[in-house]
Structure formats: C-alpha cells, structure tokens
C-alpha cells in the first residue's frame, strides 16, 4: 500500500523543513530524508550568519524578505532568540580597495570604516595589514538548530510527517501522480519538491529530467582558541573583502574559514588539511598571531546554480516537479522567504501568516529564481 500525500518533499535540511512547515498549513505533506536525522548535511554545518549585504541582488532581496521572520518569529515557533545581533565587517588591505569600492557601489548603505575604526573593534588585526572596511550593522548570528527544530515542530503540528532514514531511490510519474520508492515504502503525490541540496540534480535525473547544472562546492570551517586576554564577544563577523577568509566569535572560540569553494560531488563532505592550513595562514598573516591549535574542523557543501541564484519553481518539462535548490551560501538566512514562496507557488494562494507576502514577491524576482532560465531544451 502506498502512503499518499498532496506534496512530498525530498530532503529535510533547512529548505525541506521550512517548505514543509509552510505547505502543511494547507496541504498533506510528507518529507523524506536519507539520513537518520534532519539537518545532517549543509544545514548542520553552516557558519550561522545572517547578513543583508551578502550575495547578488536576488539573494539580497530574499534575505531582506526573511528578516522579519527571524527578528519576530510567529507565536509558538521558538522560546529562544533566533537571531542575535552581530555586525558584518568587510575588511580590506590597500591592494583590495577596488573590491571594497565595488561592494560599496552595490550596497551604499554600508558604513565606511578606517583602519583605526576596525582595530578599535578587533584589536588583533595588524596595523600593517589593514587599510579600511565597510560595516553592515544589520548582521546577526542565527540559532540554526532552534530554527530547524521550529520548522519541524510546525510541520508536525500541522499534520505533516517526516520519514528519516528514507532515501528516495526511484521517482516516476503515473496517472497524474509521482510514485516514489524510499526505504521500504512507496509514496505517492501529485507534487514533489526537490529540496535535496547537493543531490538536487541527481533527484532530477531519477525523475527522468536533465539536470539544471547545480554545482556543490566544499567549504571548510574550524574553531580556534580566542586570543588570550581579549573579550571577543562583540567582535563583528570579519570577512575579507574578496572572501579569501572570514572569522567570527562562536561559542567562546573563533570560527575561521578559508572561504573555499572547491567543486565536489554530492557527498558527506570532510575538511582537507590544506584548506585548514590556508585559513590558519591567512588569519596569522592578518593578525600577526600564532594559532597553536585547531579545536575542531568540519566541511559542508554549498550548492550553486551557474548564476549563483536560487532555483525555485515548477519544472516546465513535466508536471508537478518543483525545484527548491541552489541555496549556495545563503540557505539558512533565506529559508523563511523561500519557504513562503514555495508554498505560495504550489498552492496558488497567499501564505497564511502574511497575506500580503505573495504581492510583496515581485514577479520579476519570481522569474529570476525560476528553473526556466536554466532549461534550454524543453
């Protein structure tokens, strides 16, 4: 006997969980996840940052549409703050001034800082290294676990079901329904949402569709000891203006990343020693400090479309196959708006909590995110 639903979502990362929670307000939803627990891949490995000035214009628009959810979550969603203020600071050496100017042109609201301003905030930055910077005061640390659990609770309360340990292995369309073999069960629904992160193109292939060209890219992160004798609590997120490395306070230590973007097959990504060494070297060069040890290291896959813009919408080559993929390095900070857009496009009605939201999402943005732009042979 097949288990039936209105919508089946593949993947229980932040994308699948948030879309499931939204859709369950008006549809019978099932979420299928390969791993024994949700959020095991990219979602559980992020740097947990929210910054309005990050990414291209489409990404920034979707981030802005997610902000109110994180600052004032709906009643019952969480008992803890989902976002804690922390500015983002793009910093540059003198040879990187052109890159800094270009960011400022794109986001004029960023506040210029001198080398002294930056050293006042982050005294370990060496005066020989630093030239200037731009401050984004809207940034913050996200509580990714609380966000993921909040969406999953909401899915459950609205009658949705999550099947962990159920890897989707077959996907075919028969008599107006998608038939999905996952684990030891068969699931059927008229609509399937592809929220499989790094595996999203593989899910398309299972459904008999050509992939849209998503590329998973490995990114490494690590924790190092906070410099002795300094209170790092209020340091900003420090991002090299050409995104060669970044660091920020994290649970009493410093989270450091070489901001690597190494193409990778979809897999359980692991950190490479070379990337760890690169990050440590860049941090030591910028600060003159020695990093005596790396406390913990990890890596995850950020999955990008060729234009680094999300892929959200129905696939025009078949019926009922919806893409929610290509979240790149912004999938946590944009999840609330992408989930509402997904629910709105699938149900054709405005989302429950924000009746004006559908109208707020401008048609040209919907078109920019649509998979149509990536599909040449239909």
Ligand X SMILES: Cc1cc2nc3c(=O)[nH]c(=O)nc-3n(C[C@H](O)[C@H](O)[C@H](O)COP(=O)(O)OP(=O)(O)OC[C@H]3O[C@@H](n4cnc5c(N)ncnc54)[C@H](O)[C@@H]3O)c2cc1C
Interface positions with ligand X (CB under 6 A): 10-16, 32-35, 40-43, 45-49, 167-168, 195-199, 203, 219, 221, 300, 302, 327-333
Bridge partners of residue 7, in order along the sequence: 29, 191
Nearest distance from C-beta of residue 148 to ligand X, angstroms: 9
Nearest distance from C-beta of residue 314 to ligand X, angstroms: 18
Structure tokens at 202: 């593989």
The answer for 243, left when phi > 0, alpha when psi is -120 to 50, beta otherwise, is left
94 three-class SS: helix
Nearest distance from C-beta of residue 234 to ligand X, angstroms: 18
Taking alpha carbons only, the member of 32, 40, 35 closest to residue 16 is 32
Other Cβ atoms within 10 Å of 74 Cβ, number: 13
Q: Which is nearer to ligand X, 5 or 12 (CB)?
A: 12
Nearest distance from C-beta of residue 133 to ligand X, angstroms: 19
Residue 164 backbone dihedrals phi, psi, to 5 degrees:
-85, 165
Distance CA 360, CA 356 (A): 6
Distance CA 66, CA 96 (A): 31
Q: Which is nearer to ligand X, 15 or 118 (CB)?
A: 15
44 three-class SS: helix
In contact, 321 and 179? CB cutoff 8 Å: no
Q: Which is nearer to ligand X, 168 or 278 (CB)?
A: 168
Q: Which is nearer to ligand X, 133 or 258 (CB)?
A: 258
Rg (CA), the chain: 21
Q: Which is nearer to ligand X, 230 or 267 (CB)?
A: 267
Q: Which is nearer to ligand X, 122 or 171 (CB)?
A: 171
265 three-class SS: coil
Nearest distance from C-beta of residue 260 to ligand X, angstroms: 9
- Find the angle CA(91)-CA(102)-CA(278) to the nearest 5 degrees: 40
- What angle in degrees, to the nearest 10, is found between the helix axes of 57-71 and 335-347? 100
Q: Which is nearer to ligand X, 33 or 143 (CB)?
A: 33
Nearest distance from C-beta of residue 329 to ligand X, angstroms: 5
Q: Give a three-class secondary structure readout of 152-171.
A: HHHHHHCCCEEECCCCEEEE
Q: Which is nearer to ligand X, 33 or 357 (CB)?
A: 33
């Amino acid at each position: 006997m097949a288990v039936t639903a209105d919508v089946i979502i593949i993947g229980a990362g932040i994308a699948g969980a948030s879309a499931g929670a939204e859709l369950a307000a008006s549809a019978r939803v099932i979420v299928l996840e390969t791993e024994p627990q949700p959020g095991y891949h990219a979602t559980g490995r992020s740097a947990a940052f929210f910054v309005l000035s990050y990414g291209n214009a489409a990404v920034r628009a979707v981030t802005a549409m997610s902000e109110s959810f994180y600052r004032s979550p709906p009643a019952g969603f969480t008992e803890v703050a989902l976002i804690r203020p922390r500015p983002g600071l793009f910093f540059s050496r003198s040879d990187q001034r052109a890159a800094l100017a270009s960011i400022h042109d794109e986001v004029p609201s960023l506040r210029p800082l001198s080398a002294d301003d930056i050293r006042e905030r982050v005294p370990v930055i060496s005066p020989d290294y630093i030239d200037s910077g731009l401050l984004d005061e809207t940034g913050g640390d996200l509580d990714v676990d609380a966000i993921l659990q909040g969406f999953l609770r909401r899915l459950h309360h609205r009658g949705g079901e999550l099947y962990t340990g159920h890897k989707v292995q077959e996907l075919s369309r028969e008599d107006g329904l998608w038939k999905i073999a996952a684990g030891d069960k068969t699931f059927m629904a008229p609509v399937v949402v592809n929220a499989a992160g790094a595996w999203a193109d593989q899910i398309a292939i299972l459904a008999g569709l050509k992939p849209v060209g998503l590329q998973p890219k490995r990114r490494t992160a690590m924790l190092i000891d906070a410099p002795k004798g300094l209170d790092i609590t209020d340091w900003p997120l420090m991002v090299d203006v050409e995104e060669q490395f970044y660091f920020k306070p994290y649970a009493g230590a410093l989270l450091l990343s070489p901001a690597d973007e190494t193409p990778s097959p979809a897999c359980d990504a692991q950190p490479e020693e070379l990337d760890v060494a690169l990050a440590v070297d860049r941090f030591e060069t910028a600060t003159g400090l020695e990093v005596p040890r790396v406390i913990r290291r990890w890596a995850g896959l950020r999955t990008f479309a060729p234009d680094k813009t999300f892929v959200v919408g129905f696939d025009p080559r078949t019926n009922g196959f919806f893409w929610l993929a290509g979240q790149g390095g912004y999938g946590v900070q944009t999840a609330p708006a992408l989930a509402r857009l997904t629910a709105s496009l699938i149900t054709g009605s405005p989302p429950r909590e924000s009746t004006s939201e559908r109208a707020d999402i401008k048609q040209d943005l919907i078109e920019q995110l649509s998979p149509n732009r990536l599909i040449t042979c239909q």
